Amino acid sequence: MEIGHRIKQLRTKNKLTLEELASRSELSKGFLSQVERDLTSPSIATLSDIVEALGVTLAQFFQGEKDEKIVFVQEDYFVDEREDGTVHWIVPNAQKNDMEPILLDLKPGQRSQVIQPHNGEEFGYVLSGKACLVVDGKKHIVKKGQTFYIKGAHDHYLTNETKSELKLLWVCTPPLF
Q: What is the pLDDT of residues 107-137, one digit of tens each?
A: 999 999 899 999 999 999 999 999 999 999 9
Q: What is the pLDDT of residues 14-26, one digit of tens each?
A: 999 999 999 999 9
CATH topology for 74-173 is Jelly Rolls (2.60.120)
Q: According to CATH, where is 1.10.260.40 located in the chain?
A: 3-63
Do the beta carbons of residue 1 and residue 64 sit within 8 Å? yes
Q: What is the pTM of this model?
A: 0.63
By residue count, the chain amounts to 177
Instruction: Return mean pLDDT, the chain.
Output: 91
Nearest-10 Cα torsion for 54, 57, 59, 61? 0
Do the beta carbons of residue 173 and residue 149 sit within 8 Å? no
Structure confidence at residue 47 as a pLDDT band (50, 70, 90): very high
- Does the pLDDT value for residue 78 go beyond 90? no
pLDDT at residue 150, rounded to an integer: 95
CATH 1.10.260.40 describes domain 3-63: yes
Do the beta carbons of residue 97 and residue 175 sit within 8 Å? yes
Residue 126: other Cβ atoms inside 10 A:
22
